[in-house]
């Protein structure tokens, strides 16, 4: 009976498990070959009665499909097994390695600045880049509608009456306020971050840049503490022997205020392009925290005094690496960035 044979072959095919290519080929020849079982069955099919044909036609076709599918499946699994065995893994070969990126020069400078101040006991604090009027201006003693606010070209996000204004912070001095409001003296912190000003982008100006703010508030903090701290900072950053000088200046939040210059890091004094032939370059603003600012932040200005300073990280970086175009810092040109390949710190 054909049906019985087909049943038997079906079971055989389902169980077939050729161990190698030769056995697989035997399987193919046995069932699917030109003189194989399927060919025989089709020959036999031609001889059966029409009634039987009606039933067996379908059975036979299904059987043929099963044999073909099984063969395809076995072949595929043997091939993929062979492929994975082909890969010769030599574990003694050196690895391919991957290219290490480099730190952005501004990050290098920021890390270095933080490091110096950390050794003096300063902690690092941060604040939001979107600021309200109070933290960016009012608490820092900028009088309302006073031209002092024009010192900084502000990007306003919401501009109402002054008090409710929301803006991109124009300086990191806002973080001083946040810090003093939320804690108790003594404070000794540096506050790095990005700041924004509405300036046309050029080699010398950008609409965003980076600052580090410093704040030291305690009993009996004096201007000489300020001078000594900043003097030490400059020696650490630019090397022993770098000279400093303080020039009187004005900031609403410090009294007295000063700007600090250092002897030109490029020419060392005689004068060059970088220092505009003066031998000096300005690197930061500083001063004694105005008592109004302390009071605005809930700190007793009779008991506590403090100093503050703020510097631009771009400027400090330019003086270290002689970079003359600010735009390089934000263009992400790897040819520029690659030059700062340093050990990752
Ligand atoms: N906030 C000032 C600026 O952006 C820099 C500055 C000056 C910060 C004097 C200070 C300071 O803390 O005491 O130009």
pLDDT surpasses 70 at 150: no
pLDDT score for 148: 58
CA-nearest residue, atom 3 of ligand 1: 171
- Which of 39-43, 72-76, 251-255 shows the highest mean pLDDT? 251-255
* Model confidence, pTM: 0.73
Q: Which residue has the higher pLDDT, 216 or 42?
A: 216
Bridge-based pairing state of the strands 156-158 and 187-196: unpaired
| Cβ neighbours for 4, distance < 8 A, ≥ 6 positions apart | none
Q: Which of the residue ranges 38-42, 53-57, 77-81, 290-294 has the most confident prediction, judged by mean pLDDT?
A: 290-294
Q: Which atom of ligand 1 is nearest to the CA of 176?
A: 12
User: Residue 247 is encoded by which pair of tokens?
Assistant: 């020039």
Residue 344 has what pLDDT? 55
Provide the angle, in degrees to the nearest 10, between the axes of the packed helices 21-32 and 50-86: 170
Q: According to the annotation, is 255 in a ligand binding site?
A: yes
Q: How far apart are CA 185 and CA 178, in angstroms?
A: 13
> pLDDT tens for residues 292-311?
999 999 999 999 999 999 99
Domain boundaries, the chain: 2-85, 105-340
Which of 211, 201, 179, 226 minimizes the C-alpha distance to 312?
A: 211
Residues 63-73, mean pLDDT to the nearest whole number: 92
- Residue in 149, 168, 251 with CA at minimum distance from that of residue 209: 168
Give the separation between CA 243 and CA 238, rounded to whole angstroms: 10
Instruction: Output the pLDDT for position 342.
Output: 66
Minimum CA distance residue for ligand 1 atom 8: 310
Alpha-carbon distance of 48 to 6, in angstroms, equals 15
- Sheet of strand 187-196, all strands in order from the earlier edge strand to the far edge: 123-124, 187-196, 208-218, 305-312, 280-289, 254-263, 244-251
The CB of 41 under 6 Å from ligand 1? The reply is: no
What average pLDDT does the segment 126-136 reach?
Answer: 96
- The arithmetic mean of pLDDT across residues 210-223, rounded, is 98
Q: Any idea what DSSP says for residue 164?
A: T
- Reported as a pLDDT band with limits 50, 70 and 90, residue 134 is very high
- Name the residue with the closest Cα to ligand 1, atom 12: 309
- Residue 308's nearest CA partner among 146, 175, 162, 142 is 175
CA of 270 to the centre of ligand 1 (A): 29
- Kindly write down the DSSP assignment for every residue of 210-279, as one continuous string: EEEEEEEEETT--HHHHHHHHHHHHHHHH-TT--EEEEEEEETTEEEEEEEEEE-TTTSSS--TTTTTSS
pLDDT in tens, 84-129: 776 777 888 888 887 778 899 999 999 999 999 999 999 999 999 9
Q: Is the beta carbon of 312 within 6 A of some atom in ligand 1?
A: no
- What tens digit of pLDDT does each residue of 253-305 get? 999 999 999 999 888 888 888 889 999 999 999 999 999 999 999 999 999 99
Per-residue pLDDT band for 343 (boundaries 50, 70, 90) equals: low
State the average pLDDT over residues 150-169. 82
Which residue of 251, 315, 316 sits with most ligand 1 atoms within 8 Å of its CB, as the best mutation to test the pocket? 251
Angle between helix 37-45 and helix 21-32 axes, rounded to 10 deg: 10
Q: Which of 253, 256, 282, 312 to mutate to test the pocket of ligand 1 (most atoms within 8 A of CB)?
A: 253
- Does ligand 1 come within 6 angstroms of the Cβ of 251? yes
Q: From the alpha carbon of 215, which atom of ligand 1 is closest?
A: 12
Ligand 1 in reach of 213 Cβ (< 6 A) = yes
Interval 32-46 mean pLDDT:
90
Nearest alpha-carbon partner for 299 in 179, 190, 189, 207: 179
Radius of gyration of the chain (CA): 40
Q: How confident is the model at residue 296, as a pLDDT?
A: 97
Minimum mean pLDDT among 30-39, 153-162, 198-207, 237-246: which range? Answer: 153-162
What is the C-alpha to C-alpha distance for residues 117 and 114, in angstroms, rounded to an integer?
Answer: 5
Angle (CA) 212-216-219 rounded to 5° is 175
- Ligand 1 atom with the smallest distance to the CA of 151 is 14
CATH code for the structural domain at 105-340: 3.30.930.10
Q: Is the CB of 141 under 6 A from ligand 1?
A: no
b (16+ CB within 10 A) / e for 225-263: bbbebbbebbebbbeeebebebeeeebbbbeebbbbbbb
Contact indicator for 179, 125 with CB cutoff of 8 Å: yes
pLDDT surpasses 70 at 147 = no
Check residue 125 and report its DSSP letter: -
């Amino acid at each position: 009976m054909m049906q019985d044979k087909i049943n038997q072959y079906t079971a055989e095919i389902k169980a077939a498990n050729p161990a190698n290519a030769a056995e697989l080929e035997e399987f193919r020849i046995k069932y699917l070959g030109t003189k194989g079982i399927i060919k025989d069955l089709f020959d036999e099919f031609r001889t059966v009665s029409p009634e039987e044909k009606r039933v067996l036609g379908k059975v036979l076709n299904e059987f043929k499909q099963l044999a073909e599918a099984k063969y395809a499946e076995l072949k595929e699994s043997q091939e993929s097994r062979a492929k994975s065995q082909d890969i010769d893994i030599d574990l003694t070969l050196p690895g391919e390695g991957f290219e290490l990126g480099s730190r952005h020069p501004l990050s290098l400078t920021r890390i270095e600045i933080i490091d110096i101040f950390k050794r003096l006991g300063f902690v690092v604090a941060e604040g939001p880049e979107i600021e309200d009027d109070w933290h960016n201006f009012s608490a820092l003693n900028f009088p309302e509608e006073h031209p002092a606010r024009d010192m900084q070209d502000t990007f306003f996000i919401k501009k109402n009456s002054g008090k409710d204004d929301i803006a991109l912070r124009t300086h990191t001095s806002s973080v001083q306020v946040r810090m003093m409001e939320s804690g108790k003296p003594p404070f000794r912190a540096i506050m790095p971050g990005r700041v924004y000003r509405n300036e046309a982008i050029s080699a010398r100006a950008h609409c965003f840049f980076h600052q580090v703010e410093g704040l030291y508030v305690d009993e009996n903090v004096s201007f000489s503490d300020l001078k000594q701290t900043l003097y030490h900072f400059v020696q650490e950053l630019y090397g022993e022997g770098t000279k400093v000088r303080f020039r009187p200046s004005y900031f609403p939040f410090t009294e007295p205020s000063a700007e600090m210059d250092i002897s030109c890091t490029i020419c060392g004094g005689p004068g060059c392009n970088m220092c505009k032939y003066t031998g000096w370059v300005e690197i930061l603003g500083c001063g004694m925290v105005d008592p109004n600012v302390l009071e605005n932040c809930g700190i007793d200005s009779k008991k506590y005094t403090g100093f503050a300073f703020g510097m631009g990280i771009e400027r400090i970086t330019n003086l270290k690496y002689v970079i003359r175009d600010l735009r390089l810092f934000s263009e992400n040109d790897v040819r520029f960035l690659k030059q700062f390949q340093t050990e990752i710190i």
